[in-house]
Structure 1
Amino acid sequence: MQLTSEDQLVAEIAVWLKKHLSAKMLSAKRVRRGLMNEKWIIETNMGRLFVKTYHPGRYRMHDPEFRNKIENALQLQLLFYQSGGPCPEPLSLEGRCIHILPCGRYMTVMTYCPGTMVPAGMIGEFRMHALGRAIADMHAAWDSAAALRLGAAVPQEEPLWRLSREEMNRTWEENWDAATDSSERVRSALQLQKAIIDSLGDDDFSPLAAGWTHLDLWADNLLFEGDALTAIVDFDRVRYSFPALDLGRAVLSGALNKSELHKDALIAFAEGYRSVLQLPTGSLLRAIKYVWCVESFWWILPSFESFSVAPARFVEEMIDTAKQWEQLDTLFGDI
């Protein structure tokens, strides 16, 4: 039976830490961010730890196949940490980073990383440069591990999020039909989305280079101290996909502010990335467009006006990008 009491979960975590890490819990501070999964900063006699338990209403951790995908993502996080990357270290037990409590709830335990989140759209040039370099370091570490055929880095499936014109049109039709009674703002956003879909050429659907991808690089998953990036966090969504998606997601979250995508921040990000890996001119713009083609169907929905703060931000990113779609090549094609 799944326990739902916070006190019960904390008590079981304390016993687990003592048994497996010889760490005595001194205090537990709940981190109330994110959807459903419970998170704590744990003070112990051996230092601070970060603990996350996976809520059964959010993740299907009882499904071995799904659980193995999360485990693999955490193993890739560990590879990045071991390469010197700025991220927490997942603590493994018998080679695994996912652990189970007596109540049946799954959890992961990590080292604590200092730093604070910067609001979306306000990350700034120096931080964007640091972020671009760190993302390139992450991609390079995973590419090297894959080339060496290291366990978690060996691709296990076809890359996620290939674009399909047929799928995009079908999904749009479903949303349009469902938006009959929606507001003018919703229907206008859907009409703009359809105009962009119709404008896409065959080259827009050609696949990008595949590789391991974080897939959740938005402001809430980045920690900074001053202009320095101290940590990329929340690797649960890492999958074999298209690393360019990380670039597009990061710049939309970091550099789109008050409907304006700030070019100086994009240039700084690209320079940071290029200090580690190649990024041909125009690649960042294509990454932004590819992210829009994938994510606009997650967020431009008939119900988007009722979204909470974080999803509402993503809706704004999709609509603001769509509104300047025809100018994107002129504005950012030379980066």
Structure 2
Amino acid sequence: MLATRQPDEILNEITENIKDKFGLKVFDAEINHFGYANLKWRIRTDSGVFFVKQYNSVRYSDELLQSVEVALELQDRLNKAGIPCPKILNKQGTYIHRTQSGERYMITEFCDGQMVNPGEINIHQMHNLGQITGRLHHWLNTNAPQSLPLHWKPDTKEGMLRNWSQNWLDAQFAGSNKYIAALEQQRKIADEINLEIFDLCEEGWVHWDLFVDNILFHTDKVTAILDFDRMNYIYPEFDISRAILSGAILDGSFNIESARAFINGYRQSIPITRPKLIRSIKLTWWKEASWINVKSEDHRTLKRFVDELIWVSNNWTMLEEVCNDLLV
């Protein structure tokens, strides 16, 4: 399973395996260029349209895929519980399949819907996204294993500042005023932040990649939450702020009505207090701090995340006021 194999060669091997395992004859395939490293296709078969993802051998070790298998099993159960997410094809309880040469892949039903640009999710879509996120968290809290070791913990201030120092050097070398200014602001916050606030984070299962690229919409609702590969036992608060920042920030402005719609939808299943909402935003900012690196300008998604983090930095001292407005 070499990383240098051509996509068509990998696809042909996977389609043969799909025919052997599931009896699906593949007529044609259209490559999907979203995501990083993994190959993805929309395939048309004699039994309908499906989505296939190949797991890159460099990015995903067999050990890492063990946690992905757990996440996909939970996704399957979420689908059966009525959460809008793709139905996964499994073979005798296995969700990640292997070809004869060792290529690893998963296959799901293809979901209808359109992607929406960051910051352009309308109020109705955001409200429904909040509803679904709340239902997802509530189901996981009720039905998935609990009190597990945390998959991730916030970096120490020392660790964060080591990354900051390298990012600062990179920004200075590139002469990037945007990143120099962003890192100056980030350093001021990092010097003052009390990391004990994260000790209060509620533990539980989290999608951990809940942003616009992983959500499909119709005009007034969500049709599917996608890409559960990273789902793990950490802090559900990540999903709250990551979705809000992704959906409500456009050109440096924060859409209060859109964010409030998400929160009102979420609160139908799970309460959100002002301290929890503030902590959620700060948690995502801290976790993603290392992405404020000039090299992120070369990546569409990371560049967008940086713009969101810069908004948080610029409004750090006003988060309490912002959150008061959101919880009206």
TM-score class, shorter-chain normalisation, is: over 0.9
Other-structure match for 1:287: 280
- Report the Cα distance in structure 1 between the residues aligned to 2:295 and 2:20, rounded to whole angstroms: 47
- Report the Cα distance in structure 2 between the residues aligned to 1:132 and 1:86, rounded to whole angstroms: 13
Other-structure match for 2:255: 262
Other-structure match for 1:303: 295
Greater displacement, 16-25 / 101-110: 16-25
Asked if the contact 1:159–1:242 (Cα under 8 Å) also holds between the matched residues in 2, the reply is no
Alpha carbons of 1:91 and 1:99: their partners in 2 closer, same or farther (altered >3 Å)? Answer: same
CA shift at 1:286, angstroms? 2.3
CA offsets, 1:93-140, max 9 Å, x none?
A: 121100001221100011111001000000021111000111111111
Question: Is 1:128–2:126 an aligned residue pair?
Answer: yes
5 Å-filtered alignment, 1:169-184, equals 169-183=161-175, 184=177
5 Å-filtered alignment, 1:136-215, equals 136-146=134-144, 153=145, 156-183=148-175, 184-201=177-194, 203-215=196-208
Q: Which amino acid aligns with 2:180?
A: R
Alpha carbons of 1:23 and 1:205: their partners in 2 closer, same or farther (altered >3 Å)? Answer: closer
CA shift at 1:182, angstroms? 3.5
Asked if the contact 1:186–1:304 (Cα under 8 Å) also holds between the matched residues in 2, the reply is no
Asked if the contact 2:50–2:108 (Cα under 8 Å) also holds between the matched residues in 1, the reply is yes
- Report the Cα distance in structure 2 between the residues aligned to 1:43 and 1:178, rounded to whole angstroms: 45
- Tell me, what secondary structure is at the counterpart of 1:265? helix
Other-structure match for 2:33: 32
- Report the Cα distance in structure 1 between the residues aligned to 2:76 and 2:34, rounded to whole angstroms: 23
Choose from 239, 245, 260 the match for 2:238: 245
Question: Is 1:318–2:309 an aligned residue pair?
Answer: yes
Asked if the contact 1:30–1:39 (Cα under 8 Å) also holds between the matched residues in 2, the reply is yes
Asked if the contact 2:38–2:54 (Cα under 8 Å) also holds between the matched residues in 1, the reply is yes
- Report the Cα distance in structure 1 between the residues aligned to 2:76 and 2:287, rounded to whole angstroms: 28
Structure 2 regions of 5+ residues with no counterpart? none
State the identity as a percent: 34
Q: Which amino acid aligns with 1:319?
A: I
Alpha carbons of 1:49 and 1:302: their partners in 2 closer, same or farther (altered >3 Å)? Answer: closer
Q: Which amino acid aligns with 2:216?
A: L
- Report the Cα distance in structure 2 between the residues aligned to 1:110 and 1:93, rounded to whole angstroms: 12
- Report the Cα distance in structure 1 between the residues aligned to 2:146 and 2:99, rounded to whole angstroms: 29
Asked if the contact 1:42–1:49 (Cα under 8 Å) also holds between the matched residues in 2, the reply is yes
Other-structure match for 1:149: none
CA shift at 1:180, angstroms? 4.2
Asked if the contact 2:40–2:54 (Cα under 8 Å) also holds between the matched residues in 1, the reply is yes
Structure 1 regions of 5+ residues with no counterpart? 147-152
CA offsets, 1:231-276, max 9 Å, x none?
A: 0001111111100001110000000111111111111101100111
Q: Which amino acid aligns with 2:288?
A: E
- Tell me, what secondary structure is at the counterpart of 2:90? coil
Asked if the contact 1:85–1:134 (Cα under 8 Å) also holds between the matched residues in 2, the reply is yes
- Report the Cα distance in structure 2 between the residues aligned to 1:258 and 1:118, rounded to whole angstroms: 15
Asked if the contact 1:270–1:284 (Cα under 8 Å) also holds between the matched residues in 2, the reply is no
Greater displacement, 200-209 / 48-57: 200-209
- Report the Cα distance in structure 2 between the residues aligned to 1:166 and 1:5, rounded to whole angstroms: 42
Q: Which amino acid aligns with 1:274?
A: R
- Tell me, what secondary structure is at the counterpart of 1:168? helix
TM-score by length of 1: 0.90
- Tell me, what secondary structure is at the counterpart of 2:189? helix
Asked if the contact 1:77–1:235 (Cα under 8 Å) also holds between the matched residues in 2, the reply is yes
Asked if the contact 1:126–1:227 (Cα under 8 Å) also holds between the matched residues in 2, the reply is yes
TM-score by length of 2: 0.92
CA shift at 1:41, angstroms? 1.1
CA shift at 1:44, angstroms? 1.3
Greater displacement, 284-293 / 171-180: 171-180
CA shift at 1:166, angstroms? 3.3
Q: Which runs of 4+ in 1 moved over 4 A?
A: 177-180
What is the alpha-carbon root mean square deviation over aligned residues? 1.9
Alpha carbons of 1:202 and 1:46: their partners in 2 closer, same or farther (altered >3 Å)? Answer: closer
Asked if the contact 2:14–2:103 (Cα under 8 Å) also holds between the matched residues in 1, the reply is no
- Report the Cα distance in structure 2 between the residues aligned to 1:207 and 1:328, rounded to whole angstroms: 18
CA shift at 1:302, angstroms? 4.5
Question: Is 1:329–2:302 an aligned residue pair?
Answer: no
- Report the Cα distance in structure 1 between the residues aligned to 2:232 and 2:52, rounded to whole angstroms: 22
Other-structure match for 1:109: 107
- Report the Cα distance in structure 1 between the residues aligned to 2:136 and 2:125, rounded to whole angstroms: 16
- Report the Cα distance in structure 2 between the residues aligned to 1:22 and 1:55, rounded to whole angstroms: 25
Q: Which amino acid aligns with 1:169?
A: L
